[in-house]
Amino acid sequence: MPKAQRDQYDYDLFVIGTGPGGEGAAMQVAKRGWRVGVAERYRLIGGGCTHWGTIPSKAFRYAITSTMRALSNPVMRELGVTISPTMEQLRRGTQAIVGRQVSMRRSFYDRNDVPIHRGQARFLDEHTVSIDNDKPVTAAHFVIATGSRPYRPANVDFTHPRIYDSDTILDMAEKPSSITVYGAGVIGTEYASMFRNLGIKINLVNTRSKLLEFLDDEITDALSYHLRDQGVIIRHNEAMDRIEGCDDGVVLHLKSGKVLKSDVFLWANGRQGNTDDFGLEHLPFEANRRGQIDVNEQFQTSLPHIYAVGDVIGIPSLASAAYTQGRAAGMHMLGHTSGNLRLNDIPAGIYTSPEISTVGSTERELTEQCVPYEVGQSQFRSLARAQITGDTVGMLKILFHRETKRVLGVHCFGANASEIIHIGQAIMNQPDQHNTVDYFIETTFNYPTMAEAYRVAALNGINRLF
**Which residues line the annotated binding site for FAD?**
58, 146-148, 311
Spatial separation of the C-alpha atoms in residues 307 and 137, rounded to whole Å: 17
**Which residues line the annotated binding site for NAD(+)?**
183-190, 270
Phi, psi at 412, each rounded to 5° = -135, 135
**Which residues line the annotated binding site?**
58, 146-148, 183-190, 270, 311
Spatial separation of the C-alpha atoms in residues 71 and 48, rounded to whole Å: 32
Residue 414 β-bridge partners? 394
How, if at all, do strands 11-16 and 36-40 pair? parallel
**Distance of CA 129 to CAs 140, 302, 464, Å?**
11, 18, 61
Answer for the pair 362, 217: CB distance below 8 angstroms, yes or no.
yes
Angle between helices 20-30 and 319-333 (to 10 degrees): 30
Give the DSSP per-residue string, 376-435: EEEEGGG-HHHHHHT---EEEEEEEETTT-BEEEEEEEETTHHHHHHHHHHHHTSPTTSS
Q: What 3-state class would DSSP assign to 440? A: helix
The number of C-alpha atoms within 13 Å of 396 and in the hemisphere containing its C-beta is: 32
